Structure 1
Amino acid sequence: MKEWYGVLADHKISLLPITGAHIKEMRKLSSDADVWTWYTEDLTNPDALERWMTNRLEETERGKMMTYTVQLKETEDIIGATSYGHIDWEEKCIEIGWTWLSKQYIGAGINKHMKFLMLQHAFEKMNIERLELRTDERNVRSRKAMEKIGATYDGTLRNHRSTQGNRRRDTVVYSILKSEWIEIKGTIFKDF
């Protein structure tokens, strides 16, 4: 897996493999509750965010995930995180998720850059056949973002996971197949 886990970058952002130094830097990004509304955990407390990021780092080191911090090239500021997870090398399936951005960058086009880099890497370098994206069924913003990048709605996993406030969520599943990537890249991401 390590051969696939390096810096992904375009003219706007860099996705940097997570390190312990990033975790400490990201503590300052936790304070806005709006960022965590649809997250399975409330990470408004800097210590909670640090624990969450430490878990992502450990899962990455064990080969369960590949977590990246999102760096804005213009300022070199770390502004969020995203991961590949549920990696199945035998079946060539992977999920993109665990994504969040600092509030000022939500809706600013950064997510589309992140997804382009990750989709391109998954399909063109890692030889993935199926890529999944998941979110809380009630998270309309995230669902629309998935649809905007060409993902197809596959279904809903009912009562799938626990989330904030001792609630169980229904999880919607979207996917993009390798056979769809060339058209998506040439249309939705034609300017990238």
Structure 2
Amino acid sequence: MSTWLEEVELSHGNVKLVPLKSSHKEALLTAASDGKLWDLWYTWVPSEKDIDAFFDIAESQRANKIGLPFVVVDIKTNIVLGTTRYLNVDSQNKRLEIGSTWYAQSSQRTGINTTCKYLLLQHAFEKLNCNAVEFRTNWFNYKSRNAILRIGAKQDGVLRSHRMDANGVLRDTVVFSMLNIEWPTVKKSLEYEMNKYN
């Protein structure tokens, strides 16, 4: 099972997910500066001061086979729009989480997230044969919570006082999941949504 999660490039329509590399650092900072995403208190989007820590964590997860980080690329322009990843990978039980996702403000509500989730879920269920895929977000990240529900995940519950951020603020984490038996219906729904943007 140690090779269950391998680096892969995924694409559909105008979106490509490419394994995160150190060479993407400046492009990701540019994407994050579109909307000054690092100002969002309830999530972590790196700024120039902590971009190295962001890459260190991503590389550690990849090296330990518990994560696989991607950059989101617009195929037409080759511009990096944001990032997403598989994380909390449990190869023995064929489960993983999709998270650490953010996009430049100008790419939000454009169908980019729908396509990214489609690609990641399709790979997870159809290639990795996952039993379940999880999503987690801060209780106060209403935009993220609604986006997770829109793609077809179900809310499992709330982990109260689950984590503490760098400033010592406790976070309640909302947990969602999707099961492999739900994927065919979710896939049809996502394909319907993606067709609206084509």
After TM superposition, is the score higher than 0.5? yes
CA displacement 1:67-123 (0-9 Å, x = unmatched):
000001111011111010111111111000000111111222111111000000000
- Partner residue, 1:186: 188
Whether contact under 8 Å (1:134, 1:174) holds in the other structure is yes
Q: Tell me the TM-score normalised to structure 2 length.
A: 0.88
Whether contact under 8 Å (2:32, 2:103) holds in the other structure is no
SS of the counterpart of 1:108?
A: coil
Match for 1:33 among 32, 36, 48? 36
- Partner residue, 2:73: 71
Whether contact under 8 Å (1:25, 1:78) holds in the other structure is yes
CA displacement 1:121-140 (0-9 Å, x = unmatched):
00000010110000001111
- Partner residue, 1:110: 112
- Partner residue, 2:127: 125
SS of the counterpart of 1:51?
A: helix
Whether contact under 8 Å (2:135, 2:148) holds in the other structure is yes
Matched AA of 1:58: S
Equivalences for 1:27-176 in 2 at 5 Å? 27-31=29-33, 32-34=35-37, 36-37=39-40, 39-41=42-44, 43=46, 45-163=47-165, 165-176=167-178
TM superposition shift of 1:42 = 5.8
Rate the CA distance shift 1:10–1:161 in 2: closer, same or farther, 3 A: same
Whether contact under 8 Å (1:70, 1:78) holds in the other structure is yes
Matched AA of 2:171: R
Rate the CA distance shift 1:37–1:137 in 2: closer, same or farther, 3 A: same
SS of the counterpart of 1:189?
A: helix
Gaps of 5+ in 1: none
Whether contact under 8 Å (2:61, 2:87) holds in the other structure is no
Whether contact under 8 Å (1:40, 1:163) holds in the other structure is no
CA distance in 2, matches of 1:109, 1:101: 11
Considering only aligned residues, what root-mean-square deviation do their CA atoms show, in Å? 1.9
Whether contact under 8 Å (1:12, 1:73) holds in the other structure is yes
TM superposition shift of 1:175 = 0.4
SS of the counterpart of 1:147?
A: helix
- Partner residue, 1:23: 25
Whether contact under 8 Å (1:6, 1:16) holds in the other structure is yes
Say how many residue pairs are matched: 191
CA distance in 2, matches of 1:186, 1:89: 26
Percent sequence identity over aligned pairs: 31
Matched AA of 1:27: L
CA distance in 1, matches of 2:70, 2:76: 18
